[in-house]
């Protein structure tokens, strides 16, 4: 008879039987104190909140990157749009009426400008044309001030170069002339400094 064929003597229990039997002599595992459980729960909630904040921040950064990735390229293209406009503005108004070749050239440059501006707008790039609006230092750059009796001081009276925005971000400020109060106009209001 081999060793494996031998059966255990009667009354002897195997180790596996001991594992299945309830242990009446061992003490139950101690429960952690209530304040420790509350502290661990608080740490878990804080970790979950931080994880959610990181996820949202990452998602917002990905969206911003996709939205504003074209910014550098757009800044380079703005010069092209400016030059197309300058070309159109440099032609005298009545010159295109007398020369059909010049009229065709002006029409071609105009179509090219419209196509470029349309492509930029499809990518979220918009022109800022502030003529007649109140000067906004966040979107405009004042190049000069001129007296203007019919305009309120601080109003944009001339746009030297249009500005551009992409989404809500400024790509380039508009270069503008701003109205100021005429020197020979109505007398300045006196401010009462008496208390």
Of the options 3.40.50.920, 2.60.40.420, 2.30.22.10, 2.60.40.10, the CATH number for the domain spanning 124-184: 2.30.22.10
88 three-state secondary structure: helix
Domain ranges of the chain: 124-184
Q: 122: exposed, middle or buried (C-beta count within 10 Å: 0-12, 13-18, 19+)?
A: exposed
What b/e string do you get for 162-192 counting C-beta neighbours within 10 Å, with b at 16 or more?
bbbbbeeeebbbbbbbbbbeeeeeeeeeeee
pLDDT in tens, the chain (195 residues): 455 555 555 555 554 445 555 555 455 567 778 788 889 999 999 999 999 999 999 999 988 887 788 888 888 899 999 999 999 999 988 888 888 899 999 999 999 999 999 999 998 899 988 999 999 999 999 999 999 888 899 999 999 999 999 988 899 999 999 999 887 655 444 444 344
């Amino acid at each position: 008879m081999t060793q494996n064929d031998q059966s255990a003597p009667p009354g002897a229990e195997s180790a596996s039987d001991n594992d299945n039997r309830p242990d009446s002599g061992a003490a139950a595992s101690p429960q952690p104190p209530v304040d420790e459980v509350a502290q661990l729960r608080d740490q878990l909630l804080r970790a979950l909140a931080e994880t959610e904040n990181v996820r949202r921040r990452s998602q917002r950064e990905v969206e911003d990157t996709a939205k504003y990735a074209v910014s550098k390229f757009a800044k380079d293209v703005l010069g092209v749009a400016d030059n197309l406009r300058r070309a159109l503005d440099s032609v005298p108004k009545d010159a295109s009426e007398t020369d059909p070749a010049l009229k065709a050239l002006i029409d071609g440059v105009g179509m090219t400008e419209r196509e470029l501006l349309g492509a930029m707008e499809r990518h979220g790039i918009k022109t800022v044309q502030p003529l007649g609006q109140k000067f906004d230092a966040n979107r405009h750059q004042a190049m000069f001030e001129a007296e203007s009796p019919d305009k309120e001081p601080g109003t944009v009276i001339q746009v030297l170069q249009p500005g551009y925005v992409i989404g809500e971000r400024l790509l380039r400020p508009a270069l503008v002339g701003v109205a100021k109060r005429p020197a020979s106009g109505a007398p300045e209001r006196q401010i009462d400094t008496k208390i």
